[in-house]
Amino acid sequence: MNKKYVTGMAAIILGASMMLAACGGNNESNANGKQEGAGAVKTESDSGVVNVFTARHYDIDFAMFDEFEKATGITVNEIKGTAEELVERMKREGENTEADLFITVDGGILNYAKENGVLQPIDSDAILANVPESLRDTDNQWVGLATRARVIVYDKELVKPEQLSTYEDLAGEQWKGKVLVRSSSNLYNQSLVASMIDLNGEAETEKWAQGLVGNFARDPEGGDRDQAKGIAAGVGEVAIMNTYYIGQMLNSKEAEEVKVAESVGVFFPNQETTGTHLNISGIGLAAHAKNKDNALKLVEYMTSKEGQEMLTNGSFEFPVNKDAELPALLKEWGEFKTQTIDFAKLGENNKAATALMTKVGWK
């Protein structure tokens, strides 16, 4: 596997390695290394492995797994797929599953895994101390790894921050033909709408979504980065995006991406009302984990101060561990008020959200 390490983090990696050495480096390293896709992985006969079913595909995750391996001698096997595919595989395999851990993005999907019976409670005091109660499952069947805010990104030349206020305001006449956002099939948008249903009710949310669609500068297309590029190209003036994309673009090796990111500003909406929508990346312990001790060691590392600093410096997501130092960019954005809904609601309201978006013509 080709892994790209994040630069400028030598001190963080050193600290993480020192912490990991205390996690139990007595296990012998496995010579076969990582696996990808649905190939065979090592199971209960091997004490020095942990099998991770992951729907996250970020370079920084790979780098963290490598640091964990080097410091503990525990080999991390990655089995990749969509979250739904991995959950269904874990259900189908039952007690014979190879999965020790399940990683994905979105609180609704994490709750979906819990409801399908493929997770079990995480019984580690260290992990629960690392992750606040608000960022983990009520039964501790999953804990947060990082959070991501879905914000309003704006053209610095055409829009002043004081013109912005709430998600709801984007449905107003002043934004006619100026709003950019990706499609209704995108889970991030579905969860944003699901959160608004929880906070404002279906009727008000439908009215808002109808107004928002009427203000689209173009039919939804591309990913979050493409919305920022649309602003830079003069297609629209404001966009709904996750913050970490701006962080990644500002630190991109592609000069054009940096230029685009420098031309836009980040605004955290609903600070005087319900707060900015927050979603989560999380990790759960598989119900039939055969390498439970190793799995808990990996989660302990990933949620530790050192692990969280490595993660946030690589992904520009927000850390879940309050002791983790923020990258300079995240510090510049400052503190902000967040929505306080249960992340499970994102999944519970997903069907209503997608039906609503279809109804109002959100393509």
Q: Which residue numbers belong to the known binding site? A: 57, 244-245
CA nearest 191: which of 363, 361, 353? 353
Distance CA 124, CA 131 (A): 11
**For residues 341, 347, 348 and 349, what is the CA-based torsion angle, rounded to 10 degrees?**
80
- Could you tell me the two tokens for 302? 């990933």
**For residues 71, 75, 79 and 83, what is the CA-based torsion angle, rounded to 10 degrees?**
-40
| CA 312 centroid distance within chain | 11
In the chain, what is the straight-line distance between the N-terminal and C-terminal CA atoms, in Å?
36
Q: Are 271 and 97 in contact (CB under 8 A)?
A: no
DSSP of 20-68: HHTTTTTSPPPTT----TT-----TT-TTEEEEEE----HHHHHHHHHH
Q: Are 249 and 258 in contact (CB under 8 A)?
A: yes
Q: Which residue is associated with the tokens 């439970």? A: 292
Name 328's Cβ contacts closer than 8 Å, sequence gap at least 6.
none
DSSP of 251-293: T-S-HHHHHHHHTEEEE---TTTT-BEEEEEEEEEETT-SSHH
* Encoded amino acid at 57, one letter: H
Q: Which residue is associated with the tokens 């390498």? A: 291
Residue ranges of the annotated binding site for Fe cation are 57, 244-245
* Encoded amino acid at 184, one letter: S
Q: Are 341 and 195 in contact (CB under 8 A)?
A: yes
- What 3-state class would DSSP assign to 245? helix
Between CA 165 and CA 168, with CA 167 as vertex, the angle to 5 degrees is 95
